[in-house]
Structures are given as structure tokens and as C-alpha cells.
Amino acid sequence: MAFVETMSTGFGGWSPLFWILAFAVSAITGWLIWRRGESSCKTGTEQEKPYLCGNKEPEKGDVHVRAGNMYWGFTEAMKGYYEFLIPLHTGILTDYILWFLGVIAVMLVLAAGVF
Amino acid sequence: MIFEWIVQNSPALLLAVPMLGAFAVPLMGRIGEKARDGWVLLVSIATLIIAGILTNEVLTSGTVVYTFGAANPALSVPADSGGIPFRIIFAVDAMSVFMAISASVVGFAVFLYSIVSSARMSGKDSFFALILLMQVGILGMVCTGDLFNFFVFLEINSLAGAALVASRVDKGVAVEAGLKYAVLSTLGGLLVLFAVGLLYGQYDALNIAAIADVMQFGMPEKVALVLFVAALAMKSGAVPMHFWTPDAYSMAPSAVTAFLVIASQASLYGLFRIVFTLYNVTLDYAAMGWIIIILGVLSMFIGVTMAIPQKDIKRLMSYHAVSQTGYMLLGVGVGLAVLGDENMMRAFGMTAMEGGIFHIINHAMYKGLLFLTAGAIFYQAGTRNLNKLGGLGHSMKWTMLFFIIGALAIAGIPPFNGFASKLLIYESVFIFSPVLSVIAMVVSILTLASFVKVFHSVFMGPRLPEYENVTEVPKAMLYAMGILAFFVILFGVFPQQVIDILISPAAMALADQGSYISAVLGGN
Amino acid sequence: MIYNIPYIAAGLIIIIGIVTMTLKRDLIKIVMGLCLVESGVNLFLVATGYIDGGIAPIFTNAGPGRMVLPTVQAMTLTNIVIGIATTAMLLSFVMIIYKKYKTSDVTEVGRLKG
């Protein structure tokens, strides 16, 4: 690997070299800004606990957003599609075999002109 | 002297070394635990070295033809046979060796990982023997030049894979997944054998090059083509025959899942070999190409939309494996659809095929990495349910880093390797049909969305009280993940070198089937 | 017409096997259907090699005339052995599922869904 080449797709190229340069520049900028931070903050003391305007902090388990609640908007918007698709995955072996044979039948008609 | 012998016999050694290793594992298990672990690592390193030697040989001096049982390994057509190669021949061209090297590298990482991660399992002798046999099956499937030999290695693959999926009995759920995998794989294998029998009855030959030389496209060949394509697409997890994939991948031990991905890609290799090399110029390119494109687009979209509402981390990742298989089918399908047209082929067909083939090795690397991190999470936290996990980023920093690398790679974010192959696919498919390219990009965005969901719910958040004692996984697992992450970054930063050395010869070997026939039959 | 009877029989056995696999609800019967498909494929393979008026493909003290094709017989033997291993593994899976789930009805052995 002598040097970083440009990958040509036939319509343009992607050069990882520019990405690496941009990443290096932004990393150095970020480090310079971090160096100017407050250095008198001690970890593990009162300074690190979350502050909620004096209210009591809830249980750690309740604060964390679980996976089942994420992307609720997406699954709700595509409800018609999901209510068709998820019951199709029944978990029953004979349905899987029927799908396989159905695809063979469709391909025999389309690709081989059997019927 | 020894080195010359190894180089000359490398296709046979590529299979013999893991097979001998597999059958000697119970003996080593008698001697002790450390002896067995060391033996397994030694065998996998030896397989990797032999695969490297074979790759070097093929990429410098062309297709390697190895005849079993002849006086000279290169003597494929004996003088008194009337022009028929009647022994079992391994024809290793650039595409085969590309699959073999990716299988060997991922295999080595998987073995390094499973030495530690199977510490709490019992019956480890059979576990390691079965994984080594599965590696034999994969390497045999990609190197062979004989149709019935391909079927035998396909069955070795399926049986070893099904037994490994069911190995962690887990109150019967894993056995149910193994049963589904075994029944569907066996049915697919029997249909492949039926098609091989049809072709044998028609041409009285089992060698791929010998049949391809005299192939005509009558009704038995059409039926055989449909059976081959359907059965091999089912084995590689294309929608709408993908239903076994989430069950089998989520219930297997994580190291085995990373290897099952390679086995599915070996079936994809079989599909490409049949369509491009066996049927070559007699095909109706547009019809077959569009069928593969439609399978690919369905897999991409349905795979990723089924992945978003999942609650089990490995089931989510296996739906993504289905979706990424769609990318490979799309790229190579576009290449197939324009194979007959010289101008379009030069303009974007070769780029599409290179993108699809590059995606195969990229997918092996980053999907293996993601499954190994999921296994690390399960090893330490004890659960795979995303609704129960949280806050693991505080204590498992290296696992989090590898997960970030894998998730950014699968979503196609520069500078990782997923971006390089996806860019090739986007740009070439856009010229062919803009709608397909837009669907591919939307699927990429949804992939990133679902991995952000997994990342937040597993690693982000406060330290939860039930995971107080979770520490980082042992070093061997981290080294295995590190090997795959290294390749992910390497292929992303130096894509053009990888394309020139590995991918372009493989795409040329598929597109130009005359070279395969002349290499095996000796210049006819 | 009479020469096509083995092929028709093989096709019928394969179809009966596939119908058994998809319509029956007991797991053991599904495995039986898979064995039927395998037997049908074996019969098809052996029938492919037949040459009219041929003799057995043994060189020692062979009479005159053409021999039937021996390659398909080798393929069939290999497939029979693969079938033994597959059937043994599938039946042991069914046994473990019956022990853990207390049922062998395929519509109830479906905990992995969605």
C-alpha cells in the first residue's frame, strides 16, 4: 500500500485522502477547543451528578429510553404495511416450504415458459 | 522442495488440512483443553496460509486446475478419454479464490473468538469439529469445478450448520431453529441434485466446463436453471424465501453466526457460477437479470423494514444480513442484464458487477464484526433483549468502539468499506434504472436508523444497577474483533488497490466464461 | 411409453413427498415427506442411467453390448448416505423438540416468529 489512491467508479471518484485530511483537521480543531476547557472539575463528586432544577432524580432504569419505544413514529406511519408483513412471518415450517415452492412455480412460468 | 510441493497441491491441501484438523479435534480434546484450543488455532492459521498461497498462485499465473487422482495434477483431459474430463477437477479461478480468502480470514477470526466464548458450553469437541467441517464445506463449494461435488459440499455445509445452530439447546428454541434450517436446506439440496441429474441425463457429463462447452437451451435445461436459481437463492437468504434466516442466525452461538453468513455467501457464489459460467451465452440475459434484480430489491427493502421493529439484537442483525444480500444480488443482476450488450457493459455493467462482488467481502467483514460484538454483549450481560439492556458503554469501551465501526460500515458511511462498494453499486445502477438506485439509498438510510437504535439502547444511557458487574470481554475476543475491524478500515481507505488486485480479476472471470472453459479443457 | 414409467414414478413420488411435507401437521410426518422426496430423486437418478438392452457395468467377464451408465449409480449411493445422516439428525431434533415443547404439532412449534 504505497499511497492513498482515488477509487474511480467510471462516473467520478472517491478519494479517501481528502476524507482523512478533513478528519485530521477537525480532530485537531476539536482538541484545541477541548484544551481551553475548565480543568478544575473533579469527577465523582457533587459536581458530576445530574441537576434537574432541584427535583428528585428518577430511577436510572426509568430515564433510559428502551428500544421498543424508539421509532414509534415510523412504525405508526407504516402501520398498514407492517400489519400485512409481520403476520406473514408465522414461524411455522410448512408455510416456509410453501413460500419456497411458490417462488419455484412463479419462476418456472416466467423464466422457463413452462406453462 | 516442500514449498514447491505445497504450492503445486494447494487446492487439495486447502480442503485436507481443515478436514484432518476436524477429525483430530476429539483426540486433542482427550489430551487437554489447552491442547485442543492450540490445535484449532494452528489448523485455522495453516488454512489461512494455504489460502494465501493459492491466491497468489491464481492471481499471478491464471486459473489453477487440479485433477484428483491423475498422475499430474494439471492433466485434466487424459489422452485416451476422447476429450472428456472424467475425474473430479477443482478449477480455482479468480472468483473462487476471492471467496476462499474471505472465508479463511473470517474463519481465523471466528476460531480465535470461539476459543473464549464457548467457555461456558459443554461438548466443545464436537463444536470445534463441526465448525472446521463447515469451513471444509465452504472452501469445497467455492473451489470445485464439478456439479455433483458442489452438491456434496453443499450438503456438508447444511448439515454442519444445522447441527451448530441447534448446539445451544436453550429450552428447545435453538433446536426449533435448527430444524427449520435443516428441513429447508435439505429440500433445497435435493432440488439441486434433481437439476444435476437432469443435466447429466442430457449431456453425460458432470464437469461444469464440459457441460458449458456443449450447452443448448432446451426445456430440461430451463427447468434445471430455475431449480438451481431458486434453491441457491433460498440458501443465501433472498426474500421471499428468507424466513429461516432470522431464526437460525439468532439462535446460533455468535461465532457460528458469523460463519453462517459466509456459508450463505458461498451459496450466492454457486448461484453466480451456475448463471454466468454454466449457462453463459445460451441465457436470455434480460429475463434472468431482471429476476435476480427483483429478488435483490425485495430482499433489500423487506429485510430492512422487518429489522426496525425487532427487539432481539441478533434477530435485528440477521434481517440486515438479508438486506445486504439484496445489494449483492442487485449489483450482479444489473451486470447480468447488460452482459450481452458490449457498450452498456463497458459503461456501467462491469462497475455494477465489481460493486456487487466487492460487497460480498465487505459484508463478510462488517457483518462478522457486528455478530461478534453482539456475542460479546450476550456473553457479559446475559440477555439479548434490547428492552432490557442499557448503559453498557461505561464498562465495555472496546466493544462499543468495534460496534461503532461495524454500524458505520454497514450503513455505508465513509471512510469504511461499506461506502466504497455501495458507491459503486449506486452509481452504476443509477444509469441502468434510477428507481432502483433510489430504493438502495433509502434502504441505506433505514439501515443507519436501525443501528442508531441498537447503539442507543445498548450502549448509551446511565449505568443500570443490574449490570453493575459487567466488565470488558476477555482479550482473545477483542483481538478477533480487532482483526475484522482492521480489514473494515483497510478496505475503506485503500479501495482502489483492493479492486485492482482482488475484485477486477473476479468480475472478469465471471463475465468472460470462455476463459474458464479453455483453462479446464486445455485450450479447446 | 413404457420407457418413461420410471420417470413418471419418480415424479409421482417426489410430488407425494412434497404434498406430505406441506399438508401434514406432525413433525415426524414432515420428515417422512422429506425421505420420500429423497427416494424419488434417487429413483430418478438411477433411471437416467439406463440404456436399452444394457448390461451391468462390471468389467470382469463382461459380455458384449453396452453397459448402463455407472456414474449415476455412484451419485445415488452418495445421496443415500447423505440421506441417512440428514434423517438421523432431523429425527433427533424432533425428539428434543418433543421433550421440551411437549408437542410435535408444527403449528405450535413456532416460538420464533415476527
Q: Name the residue facing A60 among B449, B454, B463 (closest C-beta).
A: B463
For residues B355 and B346, is the Cβ–Cβ distance under 8 A? no
Q: What is the mean pLDDT of residues B482-498?
A: 90
Burial of residue C109 (CB within 10 Å: 0-12, 13-18, 19+) is buried
pLDDT tops 50 at residue B524 = no
* Predicted confidence (pLDDT) per residue in B390-404, tens digit: 888 888 889 999 999
Residue C36: inside a domain, yes or no? yes
Residue C52 CA to residue B242 CA, distance in Å, equals 44
Please write down the HEC assignment for all residues of B425-475. HHHHHHHHCHHHHHHHHHHHHHHHHHHHHHHHHHHCCCCCHHHCCCCCCCH
Q: Name the residue facing A101 among C18, C30, C114 (closest C-beta).
A: C18
Mean pLDDT for chain C overall: 90
Query: Which of A94, A95, A98, A103 best tests the C interface by mutation, with the highest count of C CBs <10 A?
Result: A94
Interchain contact C55–B (C-beta under 8 A): no
Minimum Cα–Cα distance from B493: chain A residue: A16
In angstroms, the Cα distances linking A55 to A49, A51, A52, A65, B465 are 12, 8, 5, 20, 21
> How many of the other CB atoms lie within 10 Å of CB of B374?
26
Any idea what the CATH number is for the domain that residue C88 is in?
Answer: 1.10.287.3510
| Domain chopping of chain A, boundaries | 80-115
Chains in touch with A (3+ beta-carbon pairs under 8 Å) read: B, C
Chains in touch with B (3+ beta-carbon pairs under 8 Å) read: A, C
**By percentage, how much of chain C surpasses pLDDT 90?**
60
- What's residue B215's pLDDT? 86
Are residues C112 and B177, on separate chains, in Cβ contact within 8 Å? yes
Q: What is the mean pLDDT of residues B505-521?
A: 84
* Predicted confidence (pLDDT) per residue in C23-71, tens digit: 998 999 999 999 999 999 999 999 988 888 888 888 888 788 888 888 8
The torsion angle over the Cα atoms of residues B272, B277, B278 and B281, rounded to 10 degrees, is: 110
Selected residues 36-55 of chain A with any CB under 8 Å from a CB in chain B: none
Are residues A82 and B427, on separate chains, in Cβ contact within 8 Å? no
Q: What is the mean pLDDT of residues B264-291?
A: 88
Are residues B222 and A112, on separate chains, in Cβ contact within 8 Å? yes
Q: How confident is the model at residue C93 (pLDDT cuts 50, 70, 90)?
A: very high
Interchain contact A94–C (C-beta under 8 A): yes
- What's residue B469's pLDDT? 82
Q: What is the mean pLDDT of residues B360-385?
A: 91
Q: What is the mean pLDDT of residues B469-478?
A: 87
Residue B63 CA to residue B37 CA, distance in Å, equals 35
Number of domains in chain C: 1
- What's residue B81's pLDDT? 67
Residue C106: inside a domain, yes or no? no
Selected residues 337-376 of chain B with any CB under 8 Å from a CB in chain A: 347-348, 351
- What's residue A1's pLDDT? 38
The SS3 assignment for B8 reads helix
Q: Name the residue facing C41 among B178, B190, B251 (closest C-beta).
A: B190
Are residues B187 and C34, on separate chains, in Cβ contact within 8 Å? yes
**By percentage, how much of chain B surpasses pLDDT 90?**
52
C32-35 long-range Cβ contacts below 8 angstroms, 24+ apart: C34/B183, C34/B186, C34/B187, C34/B190, C34/C86, C34/C87, C34/C90, C35/C83, C35/C87
Our CA-based measurement puts residue B113 at a distance from the nearest CA of chain A, in whole angstroms, of 28
| Domain chopping of chain B, boundaries | 284-493
- Interface B-C, measured as beta-carbon pairs within 8 A, has a size of 88
> How many of the other CB atoms lie within 10 Å of CB of C104?
17
The range of the structural domain enclosing residue C82 comes to 2-101
Chain A partners within 8 Å of C18 (Cβ): 101
* Predicted confidence (pLDDT) per residue in B129-159, tens digit: 999 999 999 999 999 989 999 999 999 999 9
> How many of the other CB atoms lie within 10 Å of CB of B5?
10
Mean pLDDT for chain B overall: 89
Q: What is the mean pLDDT of residues B317-333?
A: 93
In angstroms, the Cα distances linking C50 to B177, B195, B271, C6 are 41, 18, 30, 10
Q: Does the interface predicted TM-score (ipTM) exceed 0.85?
A: yes
The SS3 assignment for B524 reads coil
Q: Which of B37-51, C55-69, C89-103 has the lowest mean pLDDT?
A: C55-69
Those residues with Cβ within 8 angstroms of residue B53's Cβ, 6 or more apart along the chain or in another chain = B6, B7, B10
Are residues B462 and A71, on separate chains, in Cβ contact within 8 Å? no
pLDDT tops 90 at residue B372 = yes
Are residues C22 and A98, on separate chains, in Cβ contact within 8 Å? yes
Strand partners, A7: A14
pLDDT tops 70 at residue A115 = no
Highest mean pLDDT among A68-72, B83-87, B118-122: A68-72
Q: Which of B6-20, B405-419, B503-517, C16-30 has the lowest mean pLDDT?
A: B503-517
- Chain C residues with at least one Cβ partner in A under 8 Å: 18, 21-23, 25, 30, 106-107, 109-114
For residue C92, the Cα-to-chain-centroid distance in whole angstroms is 19
